[in-house]
Amino acid sequence: MITFLTGKLAAALPTQAIVDVNGVGYELLIPLSSYDRLPAVGQPLHILTHLHVREDAHILYGFMSAAERDLFRLLVNNVSGIGPKLALAVLSGMSVGNFKSAVVNGDVASLAKISGLGKKTAERIVLELKDKLGVAAAWEVASATHAPSAEETQANEAVLALIALGYKQVEAHKTVRDLQEKQPDIKSAEDLVKLALKRMAAGR
């Protein structure tokens, strides 16, 4: 099992990264949440990994935090109908903190807005994870002590709103994050959505 890689970032896209480890390039599939925290190309990188073995391929998934990898594994191993691809979509569409809160509170509507999920799968996630022994209690504590920041919550709400309006998840995520970096005085998710719509409309 390959549990992490330490080397230099050779290339990066919103959905994948290539890590150079002593001259060997490892291709990793990553969520948008990890892409946001990658260093510049050529810089040192330590990234956690999960190796998924299929009959026709061995696929490496990369995560910039243990919380992301833990959630990925929890989804793949414990929720029927969710494979690695959909687990990455969950991590790309919602922060770990907001996901935990949604599951504990039974917020199916928020989960269903994640690209590729849908209402039935969201309901199954809540049922199978909330009722799992020890998970709900542990997540209630985690949600209380590590609540998502206001900025993080605004970003997630804005991205989900843009996806609902028909924009691609990668485009929505990138635009919202860029706006937050360049205009930190934005006060609400609604304002983020309005500014993002103007920017994306101008770019089309």
* Structural domain spans, the chain: 4-63, 74-145, 150-202
Handedness of CA 33, 102, 189, 152 (dihedral sign): negative
pLDDT in tens, 147-175: 556 777 778 778 878 877 777 777 888 88
Strand partners, 46: 6
Can you give the pLDDT at residue 106?
Answer: 86
For residues 47 and 193, the model is more confident at 47
Q: Over pLDDT 70: what percentage of the chain?
A: 90
Query: Distance of CA 128 to CAs 78, 82, 135, 179, Å?
Result: 7, 12, 10, 36
- The fold of 74-145 is DNA polymerase; domain 1 (1.10.150)
Q: Over pLDDT 90: what percentage of the chain?
A: 34
Whether 145 has a pLDDT exceeding 50, the answer reads no
Query: Distance of CA 135 to CAs 94, 105, 130, Å?
Result: 19, 13, 6
For residues 124 and 200, the model is more confident at 124
CATH number of 4-63: 2.40.50.140
Res. 17 pLDDT band, cuts 50 70 90 = very high
Can you give the pLDDT at residue 182?
Answer: 85
Can you give the pLDDT at residue 42?
Answer: 93
Can you give the pLDDT at residue 132?
Answer: 63
Mean pLDDT of 121-147: 64
Answer CATH for 150-202 from 1.10.1060.10, 1.10.8.10, 1.10.260.40, 3.90.1150.10? 1.10.8.10
Res. 135 pLDDT band, cuts 50 70 90 = low
Can you give the pLDDT at residue 134?
Answer: 46
CA 47/CA 30 separation, integer angstroms: 10
Can you give the pLDDT at residue 36?
Answer: 83
Can you give the pLDDT at residue 133?
Answer: 37
First to last CA, the chain: 44
- Of the given ranges (83-92, 112-121, 129-138, 162-171), which has the lowest mean pLDDT? 129-138
pLDDT in tens, 35-54: 888 999 999 999 999 999 88
Res. 25 pLDDT band, cuts 50 70 90 = very high
Can you give the pLDDT at residue 96?
Answer: 85
